[in-house]
Every structure is written in structure tokens, then in C-alpha cells.
Homo-oligomer: A and B are copies of this chain.
Amino acid sequence: MGGGVRNITRSLESIQKHWHPHLLAGVNDYDVKLVKVKGECVWHTHPDTDELFLVISGELTIQLRDGDVVLGPNDVYVVPRGVEHCPRADDEVSVMLIEPRGTVNTGDAGGPLTADVREFG
């Protein structure tokens, strides 16, 4: 990405569409992304990587097969690799994600919510 300072609040203001991850910063071969979500994702798994969720605003429910994890602002949760999950947001939620570059948002499931990572304008 190269060199500038990025502000999370201002970066989020420029995100228009739900479920479209935007690249906030890169650390070696890991991406730190921002995404706004509303509604339900698709049940999926990342077989090869953990996935970190940090809720910036709103309330995010990460549905797991053995129960829900509910995250509020400043809460951090890591879905371990291989664990099936399905994020859900009844109202809009802003989330920071940390995972290796190339991780697909819908994991092994695909479907209409699958989206490439976008650059901030």
C-alpha cells in the first residue's frame, strides 16, 4: 500500500456498500480491512486461516454451529481456521478484519456476497 496515515472513522465514511471489504493497511502479507455489514452473510469456513473481527460500531453476531458470539464496539474475536461461521448484523455494523492477503470474505462457500477487496479512493 505504501506510506500514508489512514483514519478509521474517515475511511468508514467513504464505504457505501455492505459486505464490500476495503483495504485499510497491509502488514507484510496480511491485510487489515474495513467493512460495513448489514443482514446475514453465508455460512462458510476458512480452512487455512484464522479470521479476526474487531467491531468498530454496532453489534455483530457471529453465528457458530455451537452458539452465537455477540460483539459490541471495541470487542475482538478470532474465528479459528476451519470453524464454520456466519456473521449477522440486524443493523449496520462497522468491522475491522485481520487475515492473510487473498482471504475471500465468503471462504469456501462463495455466493452473491463474495467480493474482492477494494482500495480506498
Contacts and interface: CB of A to CB of B under 8 A. Distances in A.
Interface of A: 1, 3-9, 24-28, 30, 32, 49-52, 54, 69, 71-72, 74-78, 80-81, 98-100
Contact of A9 (B28, B74, B78): B74
Question: How many copies of this chain?
Answer: 2
A25 B76 contact: yes
A51 B27 CA distance: 7
Contact of A28 (B8, B75, B77, B100): B100
Contacts of A77: 4-6, 25
Contact of A25 (B1, B3, B52, B74): B52
B5 A99 contact: no
